[in-house]
Amino acid sequence: MGEIPVIHCRNLTKKFGPKTVLNNVSFEVYPGIIGLLGPNGAGKSTLIKLILGLDNPTSGDISLFGKTKVELAKIGFMPEAKAIIPSMKGYEFVAYAGELDGLKRTDALRRSHEILDCLGMGESRYRKLGEYSTGMIQKVKLAQALVHDPDLLILDEPTAGLDPPARNQMLDYLTYFARQQGKSIVLSTHLLGDVQTVCDQVVVLNFGVCLASCSLEQLVGNKSDSYLIEVAGNQIDVIAALGEKCLSAQDMGGFTKVFVRCGSSAEINRITSLVLSFGGVIKKFVPLEGNLDDAFFALLDKQRLAGN
Amino acid sequence: MAVNSLNSFLEYRPWNGLRNPAWMGAFAIMRESLKLIFTRKVFWVVFSLAVLNFLLYFFGQYLFFWVADQQPDGLVRVGGFGRANQNDMMQFLRSVLKMDGSPETFRNFINLQSRGIIVLLVLAGASLLGEDLNQGSLIFYQSKSGGMKNYIGGKFLAASFLVHLFATIPALFLFLEICFIDTWTYLLYNPRLLLGIIGYGFVINLGLVSLLFATVGFFRSTIGLIMCWAGVFFLLPSLCAIMIDRLRLNPVLRILDFWYCVERLGEKCLGASPTLLPGQTDQALNPWFAVASLGFVFTVTSILTMRIYFKQGIES
């Protein structure tokens, strides 16, 4: 990745009194969509505030696009809190945000309408924010973060409280702005599924410690030798016959999910024959994809065990 | 879903126009804050009362100068109500109503208008500032180019505009009215009065707005503000009256009465004779004590404002 890192944290520590919220956090992330993961109290929000320059680190430093001085005009921030003015209309709020980011009034209004068009807000932009649904508020919050055309978008829980279609739409927007408009996006969320859907890189924090900072692929790991077979029929004998090839099995009522390891296509054929010969019926035989949930919890467990 | 809905996007357009300096954002905050206040009914009610008071003084002064132009000791026709002695009318307008263009005229006028400002700030202060604290909007302002400085500056400008709209600007109109209906020599002979009006306006501005910031930071709701300001504007004066007038304690304790100190400073700015409160037995407070009291209040409220608003923004 020979590019300038979007965010480069070096030995970042933040203490509030005796409590250490971030402990010697170091990582660098590159243009793309970056997932910032961690359970509650992991230090994600503190890290975001340090990136935005709203608070100063106790020690260590951060550079954005290679510069240690934070230029807020280059950053668009979508807070987790509602952070709206209920009596304002949607387009007014976005234009207002643009003005606060240095746009002239007329430019801000024009940009506001453009962005809201882009996000499919239609006529609802003329309604007061107090009358908006959660999905619409999230869109307006995204619009206000984009109105001044920032290079880096920092989104704190952008899909929180959204129903599945609205969530998918929000993730589509993020993909669009990152892939087609070249924005770098930091996505702070609890929803591992969101990260797995759109992110290229991940930073995992827990108890103020950076557990991982790498590409999503690296974190999830290559599991191309693992497969899932759904077996009906004589399931008990099949599992016994598979022996050590069977990694684990889950009884699903009418069928059993069997996770197996096969090194080659010859081995796949052999397992297929074995299942059939013991009276099993194969409903599904698919490669097992890497799972972010497993990788994430494995990291947390590893940290817990290391602590113990 | 994930791919298909992309087709419905209108194209996003990058933007490379010129930007205003970051501090200009404060004016946008001021504008939107004022719009918020102007949509409140309470503003228009209080504003109407303030306009009525202004008209009372405007025509009162006009009447005074008109009567002064009539034959000395002659009878002046008072509408359809009969005739009054010119001297008596002058005396009434000068001594009782104090509508003669003297420093006391402006002191009384600004003091009355200030009551309206206090009511307005108490009832609409929570909309001006408290909503942002309740909605967690401070982080929104903090993440913008001007940051929290713009927010505090913009809100301060908005509240200050209200103070001057109610007190300073109409008082300046009254001053100009005398220049027009009497002679412009009034301006030459009373430059201190002109500066005093502006000065008193700024004293009220600093006092009330800094108090508003700090108290909204604590209470956030209108009910909380009403209780707190009732304490400052009713309880403290009563407490001072009991301590000084009844218990005969040191009159310097009057510095605890915030509003009395503001009025004393205003009198000093305008050069008006000091007024004694009903039942007040001591001399009027030395203006330097009033300065010290207001300086203390301003310092404490400013520190509280910085701590509350910056901390709240970071924590939200």
Q: What is the pLDDT of residue A146?
A: 95
pLDDT at A6 over 90: yes
Mean pLDDT for A203-226 is: 83
The count of other CB atoms within 10 Å of the CB of residue A279 is 14
User: Which residues are bridge partners to A256 per DSSP?
Assistant: A231, A251
Which residue is closest to B38 within chain A, CA to CA?
Answer: A87
Closest CA to A147 of A194, A114, A174, A175: A114
Mean pLDDT for A17-42 is: 92
Rounded distance between C-alpha atoms, residue B213 and residue A212, angstroms: 43
Sign of the alpha-carbon dihedral angle for B144, B148, B153, B155: positive
DSSP SS3 for A251: strand
In this structure, the dihedral spanned by the alpha carbons of residues A290, A294, A300 and A301, taken in order and rounded to 10 degrees, is -120
Interchain proximity A87–B39, CB inside 8 Å: yes
Q: What is the pLDDT of residue B1?
A: 41
Considering only CA atoms, give the Rg of chain A.
24
Within 152-181 of A, beta carbons closer than 8 Å to B belong to: 165, 168-169, 171-172, 175-177, 180-181
Mean pLDDT for A271-297 is: 81
With a threshold of 0.90, does the pTM exceed it?
no
Interchain proximity B144–A100, CB inside 8 Å: yes
User: Using 50, 70 and 90 to split pLDDT, how confident is the model at A205?
Assistant: very high
Which residue is closest to B12 within chain A, CA to CA?
Answer: A118
Q: Say whether residue A133 is in contact with chain B using an 8 A CB cutoff.
A: no
Q: What is the pLDDT of residue B2?
A: 42
Tokens of A173: 């927007």
Q: What is the pLDDT of residue B23?
A: 92
Rounded distance between C-alpha atoms, residue B289 and residue A238, angstroms: 95
The separation between CA A34 and the C-alpha centre of its own chain, rounded to angstroms, equals 7
Which residue is closest to B130 within chain A, CA to CA?
Answer: A85
Mean pLDDT for A41-45 is: 89
Q: Say whether residue A151 is in contact with chain B using an 8 A CB cutoff.
A: no
**Chain pair A-B, CB pairs under 8 angstroms:** 131
pLDDT at A282 over 90: no
Closest CA to B258 of B301, B199, B222: B301
Rounded distance between C-alpha atoms, residue B170 and residue A182, angstroms: 55
Query: What is chain A's mean pLDDT, rounded?
Result: 87
> Which residues contact residue A282 at a Cβ distance below 8 angstroms, ignoring those fewer than 6 apart?
A229, A230, A231, A272, A275, A276
Phi, psi of A134 (to 5 degrees): -60, -40
Q: What is the pLDDT of residue A228?
A: 78
Domain ranges of chain B: 28-62+98-310
Interchain proximity B136–A75, CB inside 8 Å: no
pLDDT at A127 over 50: yes
Please give the order of strands across the beta sheet that includes A59-64: A19-29, A7-16, A59-64
Contacts of A87 in chain B (CB under 8 A): 36, 39
Q: Which among B29, B144, B155, B311 is the top mutation candidate for probing chain A, defined by the most A β-carbons within 10 Å of its own β-carbon?
A: B144
Q: What is the pLDDT of residue B4?
A: 43
Which residue is closest to B22 within chain A, CA to CA?
Answer: A102
Q: Say whether residue B41 is in contact with chain A using an 8 A CB cutoff.
A: no
Per DSSP, A122 falls in state: G
> Which residues contact residue B225 at a Cβ distance below 8 angstroms, ignoring those fewer than 6 apart?
B122, B125, B126, B130, B215, B216, B219
Which residue is closest to B140 within chain A, CA to CA?
Answer: A83
Q: What is the pLDDT of residue A5?
A: 92
Percentage of chain A exceeding pLDDT 90: 49
Mind listing the pLDDT tens digit of every residue in chain B (316 residues)? Answer: 444 455 556 688 888 888 899 899 999 999 999 999 999 999 999 999 999 999 999 999 999 988 888 877 778 877 778 888 888 888 888 888 888 889 999 999 999 999 999 999 999 988 888 888 888 888 899 999 888 899 999 999 999 999 999 999 999 999 999 999 888 888 888 889 999 999 999 999 999 999 999 999 888 889 999 999 999 999 999 999 899 888 888 888 889 999 999 999 999 999 988 877 777 776 778 889 999 999 999 999 999 988 888 776 655 5
Mean pLDDT for A36-58 is: 90
Mean pLDDT for A280-287 is: 82
Helices (H), chain B: 25-38, 41-68, 86-91, 103-125, 131-135, 138-142, 147-163, 169-181, 185-189, 191-219, 222-230, 236-241, 258-270, 287-315
Q: Say whether residue B81 is in contact with chain A using an 8 A CB cutoff.
A: no
CA distances from residue A103 to A106, A108, A111 in whole angstroms, order as listed: 8, 5, 9
Q: Which among A100, A112, A125 is the top mutation candidate for probing chain B, defined by the most B β-carbons within 10 Å of its own β-carbon?
A: A100
The angle subtended at Cα B2 by Cα B1 and Cα B3, nearest 5°, is 95
Q: What is the pLDDT of residue B26?
A: 95
Q: Say whether residue B17 is in contact with chain A using an 8 A CB cutoff.
A: yes
Q: Say whether residue B36 is in contact with chain A using an 8 A CB cutoff.
A: yes
Interchain proximity B313–A54, CB inside 8 Å: yes
Contact (CB, 8 A) for B245 and B159: no
pLDDT at A302 over 80: no
- Residue with the two structure tokens 């892939």: A179
Contact (CB, 8 A) for A78 and A153: yes
Q: Tell me the DSSP string of B226-291.
A: HHHHHIIIIIHHHHHHIIIIIS---GGGGGG-HHHHHHHHHHHHHTPPPPPPTT--SPPPPHHHHH
CA distances from residue A70 to A50, A294, B51, B73, B145 in whole angstroms, order as listed: 10, 35, 48, 77, 10
Identity of the residue numbered B230: A
Tokens of B210: 């800094």
Q: Say whether residue B88 is in contact with chain A using an 8 A CB cutoff.
A: no
Give the HSE-up count for residue A86: Cα atoms under 13 Å, Cβ half-sphere. Answer: 14
Q: Which of B6, B135, B147 sits opposite A176 (nearest CB)?
A: B6
Angle between helices B25-38 and A90-100 (to 10 degrees): 150
Contacts of A197 in chain B (CB under 8 A): 2
Within 148-177 of B, beta carbons closer than 8 Å to A belong to: 150
Q: Which of A10-19, A119-128, A258-267 has the lowest mean pLDDT?
A: A258-267
Helices (H), chain A: 44-52, 90-100, 105-118, 134-146, 164-175, 192-198, 216-220, 235-242, 265-277, 292-307
Rounded to a whole number, what is the distance in Å from the CA of A153 to chain B's nearest CA? 12
Contacts of A168 in chain B (CB under 8 A): 1-2, 5
| pLDDT tens digits for range A75-90 | 999 998 888 899 999 9
CA distances from residue A249 to A133, A238, A246, A296, B185 in whole angstroms, order as listed: 43, 11, 7, 22, 102
Quote the ipTM score: 0.85
Interchain proximity B145–A117, CB inside 8 Å: no
Q: Which of A93-102, A264-273, B36-45, B288-297 has the lowest mean pLDDT?
A: A264-273
